[in-house]
Amino acid sequence: MNNAIFLDRDGVINNIIISKGLPLSPSKFEEFKILPGVRESISKLKELNFYCILVTNQPDVSRGKIKKETVVKMNEYVKNELGLNDVFVCFHDDKDNCQCRKPKPGLILNASYKWNVDLKNSYMIGDRWKDIEAGRLAGCKTILIKSNYVEEIKTKPDFELDSLFSAAILIKKLNNEKK
């Protein structure tokens, strides 16, 4: 079986806009920027033999705020730029009550099935409680990237750090301790 790092996109991989204390995804490809340190972090995680898989909610498509083609273009850009193994996306809104929208674990479970992932030796890294809950429900260790969002953290993460780079350093340390 393989180990994986499941990564949320907005706020972990790329920039976001904070409005009224909550994060907003970029709505145009031109606004989409990979955060500093992300390339190095992904390289470090891949050196540790983790698959790096993007799992992202993109409800603005079903809300009519962004075209699906734009989100696909952003995700393909990230996948190619960072050398990610795969991308799994939920385009639904909460009202759709699908199994793929985080905090439900569907995206992670689908990815783990496709890539033969050992979930108990894998991590979910996100910037919101929904990411952490999805990871917990899937059986992964969880890392919350701290943010300034005005949002209650409803699920306690295993670790809380300030960046993806800090998460990569921690995972390397924990990986070395297992050996």
DSSP 14: B
Are the C-beta atoms of 137 and 105 separated by less than 8 Å? yes
Specify whether 10 is catalytic: yes
What lies within 8 Å, CB to CB, of 31 at 6+ separation is: 15, 17
Q: For this structure, is 8 an active site residue?
A: yes
The one catalytic residue among 8, 60, 127, 131: 8
The alpha-carbon radius of gyration of the chain (Å, integer) is 15
Asked if 179 and 49 count as a contact pair (C-beta separation under 8 A), the reply is no
Distance between CA atoms of 102 and 96, rounded to whole angstroms? 12
SS3 87: strand
Which member of 10, 60, 127, 131 is catalytic? 10
- CB-count exposure of residue 113 (10 Å: 0-12, 13-18, 19+): exposed
Find, among 119, 154, 111, the residue nearest to 135 by Cα.
119
Q: Do 37 and 82 touch, CB atoms closer than 8 A? A: no
Residues known to be catalytic: 8, 10
